[in-house]
Structure 1
């Protein structure tokens, strides 16, 4: 394992309370500010320091993925459930499963898998242990609770073939690895522990898988990003100039890592907290996947 402090640039000093969910989608970097319910994009090849606000909602916005057959629309982990976010900022609810839980909760991070399903986690507002869940939204819009008993379900990330999903339970310092049947979306066996963080090492937050199959993890509270080999051993640790990195995203055409950070819980924040950061790295990533609804049946 190597550890280094690599020159890091502040791409956007947005003073965001809780920036999260960074993804590369169709030549743009898309991210959210969860607690303010805002969605932003940075266009590649333009002035990356000037984000464009795509939506502002009156409920927390955890993460989005593009909808394959509706340009400008998103599937969103938002408020207490899953909704379609239209280009004009309206919400079309698919389900609000967190309305049916015993404690008040909200949706958190989420991502689409290579098969076109959308996976998103939840958490209780008061951090009640075991109150969080992982949900899967199938192409027909059905929302299924896949796992429960989590506390802060975070950072779903998939391998390129869609057969492996990594999931963080931030509050307990654990990264889980789940085998997934790409045809059905069902988990194959139970989750296994991929990595367990010790006290003082930070808490795993947003994650992404690079083009070599290695896992990058934002380490909340540790001012660091970690890279793990698929066999679970720690390859590298990057130090970042903000205590609470929240998500990581690799540019698909340029060896650059983009990191969102939070001001939430920071006593004396600098420009790097509540920001989008970038750092050169020796490997690239892939474009985010879309949620794809089934095509209507055709008749001969």
Structure 2
């Protein structure tokens, strides 16, 4: 039976994002990074000082992967770019569906091999217009095609299992992965099927024990699943559209989640003023940090 927990957390940042997404944490600087995709913004929050910065971007972007202290890899609607952390300058790195200007990047995450999995989707959310790619040392390889809204890209701690979903179908997929390369070694199978439930499976992270933490878009919750697909707990959040969680804090023992107000009318937004904020669940977790991308 699924445990239900009321929200016991707080707002980390009330800077409202139409589509908050792609949160990640840099333990070297104690900084949370995330995007407002539709607003073409990169957000930065230092947890030591509470200093908040918003960096304007020239295009929509959705995923940030740390390379080293000076560089970050950004997945954007115009491909992959290396960002200089000192001045924000962007340098083109690799093409990603440059023959499909109607598409943009969406969910993604780095694997322990140093590779990146990154999903794409139609800017108008057209059915089956997107895909999921593997990027290693600048080489881009298509893994899965015909995906409408790619999300929940994450990996088991040992790198041997990958997860992903098409939020429109709301089935969490599991696939075996080579820990050395980040490439699939088998065919995906359905681990969790929630197609008949309210909302849809959005972004996910996996903790140190292999449990999957999933933001359920449209249901105002973060769900915790066992590695064999059993939903163990549901943590409510004061925003109907949570998009992706991230382990934060020097010990990775806190859980933040991005949210969105995209598509909400005035009445809906008035009842959930924290929609679009970066929230913290207020619970203790056993998180692990996203590995750096190996350039």
Q: How does the TM-score come out when normalised to structure 1?
A: 0.90
Aligned counterpart, 1:262: 260
Matches of 2:45 and 2:184, distance apart in 1: 34
Question: Which of 185, 188, 192 lines up with 1:191 in the alignment?
Answer: 188
Is the contact made by 2:113 and 2:181 (CA closer than 8 Å) also made in structure 1?
no
Matches of 1:256 and 1:4, distance apart in 2: 16
Aligned counterpart, 1:285: 287
Matches of 2:278 and 2:70, distance apart in 1: 23
Question: Which of 105, 116, 119 lines up with 1:118 in the alignment?
Answer: 116
Q: Choose 239-248 or 165-174, whichever is displaced more.
A: 165-174
Aligned counterpart, 1:64: 64
| Residue 45 in structure 1 maps to residue 45 in structure 2 | no
* Equivalence map 1:229-268=2 (5 Å): 229-251=226-248, 253=251, 255-267=253-265, 268=268
Question: Which of 157, 161, 165 lines up with 1:168 in the alignment?
Answer: 165
Aligned counterpart, 1:34: 37
Is the contact made by 2:61 and 2:74 (CA closer than 8 Å) also made in structure 1?
yes
Question: Structure 1: any 5+ residue segments left out of the alignment?
Answer: 294-300
Is the contact made by 1:80 and 1:105 (CA closer than 8 Å) also made in structure 2?
no
Number of matched pairs: 286
1:55-86 per-position Cα deviation (integer Å, ceiling 9, x unaligned):
32121111110113xx2311111114222222
Matches of 1:61 and 1:261, distance apart in 2: 16
| Residue 20 in structure 1 maps to residue 17 in structure 2 | no
Aligned counterpart, 2:95: 96
Matches of 1:72 and 1:273, distance apart in 2: 32
Matches of 2:245 and 2:6, distance apart in 1: 16
Is the contact made by 2:224 and 2:231 (CA closer than 8 Å) also made in structure 1?
yes
Q: How does the TM-score come out when normalised to structure 2?
A: 0.91
